[in-house]
Structure 1
Amino acid sequence: MPLHFARRLAVLCAAAAVPCSAAVQHDLVFDQPAPFARNEALLERMFSPLLAQALREQLAKARGSTDTLAIDLAQERFELYVPDGAAPAAGYGLLVFVPPWDAQGLPREWLAVLRRQQLIAVTAERSGNEQNVLGRRVPLALSGYENVRQRYPLDPQRVYIGGFSGGARVAMRVALAFPDVFRGALLNAGSDPFGSPEVPLPDAGLFGQFERGTRLVYVTGTRDEAAASTDRRSHASAHSLCVSNLVDLPIRDGGHQPADARTFEHALQALDAPRIETRDAEGCRAQRSVEIARANADARSAFDAGDLKEAARRLAELDAHYGGLALPASAELASRLRERGIEPLAKP
């Protein structure tokens, strides 16, 4: 289909507020705000508890409230692909794609695969590596999901997020923070270790959904040494936290590039496969709980001994590594420190 015709079709469809099929629709303007794209939801899910509290106070002072939308949808543009033909009985699958570039543009060789796999794909403009992650890239991804969800029947078991390069790193954070939305993530040449300032852990309820129900598929070229090295560290940190639904699909002789059509299709099939638990998963989680309790106890012991700075230091380390998994004990100690005039985390 000629590009100028596809753009005309997208404009007509957007004006009529009806879905279009068999085309890549460009320059769409969505109008349904995503509840998860509000600043308070982002603070709660995507930051460690101590950092979230510091940012919450800053945002409240600057804007008077944290319950505001992070973006103005009327100013944003999206690209949408919908497979032709009737919707599957269980609903379409969905891939929310986070790019490293600012222009609209799904990898074109992926479109035939999306059609075969009956997946819709949506991506936003001005969502590349130069954009703010929490201020734009994450809210845009969540807004893409919400507006597709309201327009098309979706199979909730096949709702995925993915990205390439820096976009994959964003996709990983979103999958971890929103396991009640996304059942898996395609990490194409980009990842990070878990339990770090870049990838803080959510609370126990959300993390439980993530470790049991979310699959991560790593797709990286064998010649992409930097990304492959980060993938190994991401895997190691995941295993240390008892996360087991990880799949590696290396691109043989591939560099830093989007997955080819064949590998992309294998990745989607891996995302669709049943989730499995490792044999020692429960034992691993029990040991993790022991380690978190010990770290909380060490910080509390320093507080009880009157060494408030040491207590704050230990609490900050605990918060950075275990994030929401250290609640509620970590929040209680943070409150006690503030009562004594000690900030448990320096404000950013």
Structure 2
Amino acid sequence: MNLRHASASLLLWLCAAAYVCAAEPATIERSATLADVFPAAQVQALRSVLPADQRVTWAVRLPSTSPRSVLVFVSPNAAADPPPGWDTVLDRHATVWIAARDFGNPAPSHQRVLVALMGLALARRDYVPTDARRYIGGMSGGGRIASIAATTFPQRFDGALYLAGADDFGQAEPARLAAIAANRYVFLTGDKDFNRREMRQVHQRYRKAGVPQTLLLDLPHFAHHYPGANDLERALAFLDGGAER
């Protein structure tokens, strides 16, 4: 191969490699403190929940196309990356994934809620357009935290995904109940999940409270674990505005 052909081959290889790198979704690490995310007045009020100088780290996965939504995820353990097989679905829905590391079930609940709100603020500031849909989700104990955040601060979200764990929001004043009822909620459990009975009960309480846009996915042979890509697809399609009931 002469020098000209070698140079052309190298150029083609570099272009192909650059295209692959550009097309491949990136998972990055971001860290921030309260002061990096919220105004000073809010930091002053929130420092009793989380030290103002404590740095929180999130795993952020960007979709392969321009984002249309963000999913703030609360893990039951220290992990923060999307479960295996979820990447394709997140790409299909153009969803940014953001989840805090080291804020699993052992962490105080009020800190986990605050860290989820910090993650949402960070994603909205740096990664998604202002009209992007805002979701919160969680698994097991993380689902419980997601349900607390979604119904305590319903104006901050458009929907929620509860995987094998959720808490009832109890009595809510009319304004908050109206905000809760305006959003969409997916409850996912299965016949081998030890939280199945409670998940079904909490789902019914939402319905009885006048929350119409809910989806119960009660899966056969499903235990207490993350769902696969097909069931995540059903959940995100509903949150995005699908009609499944």
Alignment root-mean-square deviation, CA: 2.6
Distance 2:188 2:62 in 1: 24
Overall identity of the aligned pairs, in %: 29
1:153-192 equivalent positions in 2, closer than 5 A:
153-154=128-129, 156=131, 158-192=133-167
2:184 aligned residue: 215
**1:119 has 2:95 as partner:** yes
1:249 Cα deviation from its structure 2 partner:
1.4
Inter-CA distance 69–145: structure 2 relative to 1 (3 Å threshold): farther
**Between structures 1 and 2, the one with greater helix share:** 1
Q: 2:59 aligns with which of 79, 87, 100?
A: 79
Q: Secondary structure at the match of 2:197?
A: helix
Contact 2:151 2:169 in 1 (8 A): no
Deviates more, 1:264-273 or 1:98-107: 98-107
Q: Counterpart of 1:108 in 2: which secondary structure?
A: coil
Q: Which residue of 1 aligns with 2:223?
A: 255
CA contact 1:215–1:275 (8 Å) conserved in 2: no
Q: Which amino acid aligns with 1:210?
A: I
Q: Structure 2 vs 1, CA of residues 110 and 34 (structure 1 numbering), >3 Å: closer, same or farther? A: farther
Displacement of 1:138 after TM fit? 0.6
Q: Determine the C-alpha separation between the residues in 2 that align with 1:219 and 1:119.
A: 19
* 1:23 and 2:34 are equivalent in the alignment: no
Cα distance in 1 for partners of 2:184, 2:230 equals 19
- What amino acid is aligned across from residue 247 of structure 1 in structure 2? L
Structure 1: how far apart are the matches of 2:103 and 2:59? 12
Structure with the greater alpha carbon radius of gyration: 1
- Cα displacement string for residues 109-136 of structure 1 (whole angstroms, at most 9, x for unaligned residues): 21111011100010001211111010x2
Residue 81 of structure 2 is matched in structure 1 by 105
Counterpart amino acid of residue 178 in structure 1: F
Of Structure 1 and Structure 2, which has the larger fraction of its residues in strand?
A: 2
> Take 2:172 and 2:178, find their aligned partners in 1: how far apart are those partners?
9
- Residue 203 of structure 2, aligned match among 231, 235, 239: 235
Write out per-residue CA displacement over residues 160-211 of structure 1, whole angstroms, 9 at most, x where no aligned residue: 000001101111111111221111100111112331xxxxx44422221111
Equivalences for residues 1-348 of structure 1 within 5 A? 22-26=25-29, 28-30=30-32, 32-34=36-38, 38=42, 66=45, 68=47, 70-71=49-50, 72=52, 74-85=54-65, 87=66, 91-134=67-110, 136-154=111-129, 156=131, 158-195=133-170, 201-211=171-181, 213-224=182-193, 226-273=194-241
- Contact 1:251-1:259 at 8 Å conserved across structures: no
Q: 1:261 to 1:274 in 2, by over 3 A?
A: closer
Corresponding residue pairs, total? 218
Q: Does the aligned pair in 2 maintain the 1:192–1:233 contact within 8 Å?
A: no
Q: 1:157 and 1:202 mapped to 2: Cα distance?
A: 27
Structure 1 CA distance for aligned equivalents of residues 176 and 90 of structure 2: 29
- SS of the residue 2:150 aligns to: helix
Local SS of the residue matching 2:77: coil
TM, length-normalised to structure 1: 0.57
Deviations 1:273-329 (A, max 9, x none): 1689xxxxxxxxxxxxxxxxxxxxxxxxxxxxxxxxxxxxxxxxxxxxxxxxxxxxx
1:57-76 deviation per Cα after TM superposition (whole angstroms, max 9, x unaligned): xxxxxxxx746463346521
Rounded to whole Å, the distance in 2 between the matches of 1:274 and 1:112 is: 19
State the TM-score, normalized to the length of structure 2. Answer: 0.80
Question: Which ranges in structure 1 are unaligned for 5 or more consecutive residues?
Answer: 1-19, 40-64, 196-200, 277-348
Could you say what secondary structure the match of 2:185 adopts?
Answer: strand
* In 2: Cα distance, 1:106 partner to 1:82 partner: 11
**Alpha carbons of 1:220 and 1:267: their partners in 2 closer, same or farther (altered >3 Å)?**
same
The verdict on how the C-alpha distance between 1:159 and 1:73 changes in structure 2, with shifts beyond 3 A counting, is: farther
**Distance in 2 of aligned mates of 1:232 and 1:260:** 20
